[in-house]
Chains A and B, each alone.
Chain A
Amino acid sequence: MHPAPPPVVRFDNLTLGYERHPAVHHLSGEIPAGALVAVIGPNGAGKSTLLKGLAGELRPLGGRIELAELPRGGLAYMPQRSEIDPGFPVSVFDVVAMGLWRELGAFGGLKRAQRQRVREALAAVGMEGFESRPIGSLSGGQLQRARFARLMLQDAPLILLDEPFAAIDSRTVDDLIRLMLGWHAEGRTILTVVHDFEQVRRYFPTCLLLAREPVAFGPTPQVLTETLLARARRLSEAFDDHAPECHREQEGIQAGGGPGGERPRGEVVPLHGHRHGHPHDHAGHRH
């Protein structure tokens, strides 16, 4: 066995959210290089938010994300909903070729070898012959295949996939999973948001179970237990039901000088052993 690989990602008491409402709450942990992690949890558990935060699209409300030294463009992020405008007159080839941005930059032309690589990527996702089709003419599954081809060309050591297998037929899912496992075998670090526990059990060695708060993080058989899943469901349900009420209570505590209310908001205060760079609500959450 090798010694434990160094972490590619370290979460340090990370809180992410929107308008001060936490969606990922006090997450700490490390993701070792080369890990294939399934991020699971009920809807609204903060899975997409976590990936957004990792991709740098969302600033943490508190805590930190530490990324290992990655080359520029070394993080490839595939959001859940494609933002690709299907009405734009651009061909499948051109869309996929943009995966080579790190090599091409804004001005570089495609060399013959690079064109060949684009065609190979398209072939690898089973899309030969689609090169000159307009991107808007693709079906949902074909578009997802094209996005995977582009991702492949990005050649990133850290890959974030947000529900890549949702609303896609089983054959496409099988093909895309095979690609993802290939990237894993190449030593890339992959975080994937998945809903299908069967897929998680079969393909993902590691699991991060979120319900806004981290419920469990570790080897999949130890995380995918009925007890922990039930706990995740309960946590997220309780949160949704009581969030507005607890929010008001929190305001009252802040104003009335209850716990944490002695100091003005916005200051960096050690609270229950963790530091908050920014104030955020603790609704539905006990320290």
Chain B
Amino acid sequence: MYDLLVSPFTDFAFMRRALAGCLALALGATPVGVFLLLRRMSLMGDAMSHAILPGAALGYLAFGLSLGAMTVGGIVAGLVVVLAAGVVTRASILKEDASLAAFYLLSLAAGVMIVSLRGRNLDLLHVLFGSVLALDDGSLLLIGGIATLTLFGLALLFRPLVLECFDPAFLRGVSRWSPVAHYGFLMLVVLNLVSGFHALGTLMAVGIMILPSAAARLWAHELPVLLGLAVVFAAGSGVAGLLLSFHVDVPAGPAIVLMCGLVYFASLLAAPGGLLAGRLPVRHHLES
């Protein structure tokens, strides 16, 4: 048991770094995922991760495999898309999904075009699939820093953000916080996707945001419980995925996301909000 669960982390430094990265992601990215889920923007996270890819690729083209350049490129590309889409959503009749789709598709197309113009064969596997088992000091600090910033940001924005999610008209009526909550949250999404792609890759980063949140939503009726449960699910899946990857020798990123998926399916079957709960025969109903 010890060999199975603990010794991989005690014996190997890269596993400890990976563990630290995963736990930081669970603490930072997963709560952001909960709000994405509650705002019905789950798929938007996926779209955003595509929008970040060209920026990161540009950074890679210009400066090689440099953490700073790729991070800055990704953040800039993501923020441009998010802010442009935010302005369009708030000022035109287009809804959030439509305006975001427009800008992320443009960002993706522009990225692909720039890459092909340079005509170089890119080794973008790092960006696509991440490298949680090879996190260097810089990446680890970045992931930890973004997780810390996210927790502070969410604490600061919590009440306006909750209101912006469930009754935006009321928030607009009583205060000027509505745009702050909206854009602030979208910036947190971008930051966490960038942090996620270092560990899990752009394609997988959304997995650890949305899957634990969806699983937790099936169990929880209160927001604090929902947030806590989602973080626990994400952290557990992270540990389990790393161990799976270590023992069976499969890539860590997909292993972690698949573990999140396992929690999700288990919740679908067992949770009160899941598939079975409403379909089982009710033996005794309540008096009132």
Contacts and interface: CB of A to CB of B under 8 A. Distances in A.
Q: State yes or no: do A and B come from one complex.
A: yes
B169 interface: yes
A102 interface: yes
Interface string B162-200: 110111111011110100000000000000000000000
Contacts of B226: 89
Interface string B223-255: 100100000000000000000000000000000
Nearest to B217: A89
Contacts of B222: 89-91
Contacts of A85: 38, 165-167
Given A85-B167, A89-B217, A106-B157, 13 more contacts: A73-B175, A77-B173, A82-B167, A83-B170, A84-B166, A84-B167, A84-B170, A85-B166, A88-B166, A89-B38, A98-B167, A106-B160, A135-B166
13 contacts: A77-B173, A79-B169, A84-B166, A85-B38, A85-B167, A87-B38, A88-B166, A89-B221, A95-B167, A98-B167, A101-B175, A105-B175, A107-B159
Interface string A86-127: 011111000100100110111100000000000000000000
Interface of A: 55, 57, 73, 75-77, 79, 82-85, 87-91, 95, 98, 101-102, 104-107, 134-135, 150, 154
Contacts of A88: 38, 165-166
Interface residues of B, number: 23
A87 to B, nearest CB: 8
B162 to A, nearest CB: 7
Contacts of B271: none
A106 B166 contact: no
A98 B163 CA distance: 8
A90 B162 contact: yes
Contacts of A91: 222
A89 B38 CA distance: 9
A91 to B, nearest CB: 7
Given A89-B221, A106-B159, A106-B160, A83 B167 contact: yes
Contact of A73 (B159, B160, B166, B174): B174
Shortest beta-carbon contacts, A-B, top 9: A88-B166, A101-B174, A83-B169, A85-B166, A84-B167, A73-B174, A106-B160, A106-B159, A89-B223
B272 to A, nearest CB: 12
A106 B173 contact: no
Nearest to A86: B166
B220 interface: yes
A18 B278 CA distance: 44
A83 B168 contact: yes
Contacts of B172: 57
Contacts of B177: 106
B14 to A, nearest CB: 38
Contacts of A105: 175
Contacts of A102: 174
A134 B225 CA distance: 13
A76 B177 CA distance: 16
Contacts of A84: 166-167, 170
B285 to A, nearest CB: 16
Contacts of B173: 55, 73, 75-77
Contacts of A101: 174-175
B271 to A, nearest CB: 13
Nearest to B162: A90
Contacts of A104: 159
Contacts of B159: 104, 106-107
Contacts of B221: 89, 134
Nearest to B224: A89
Most buried by B among A85, A87, A135: A85
B92 to A, nearest CB: 12
A77 B160 CA distance: 18
Interface centre among A79, A88, A102, by most chain B C-beta atoms within 10 angstroms, is A88
A159 to B, nearest CB: 12
Contacts of A95: 166-167
Contacts of A89: 38, 217, 220-223, 226
Contacts of A134: 221
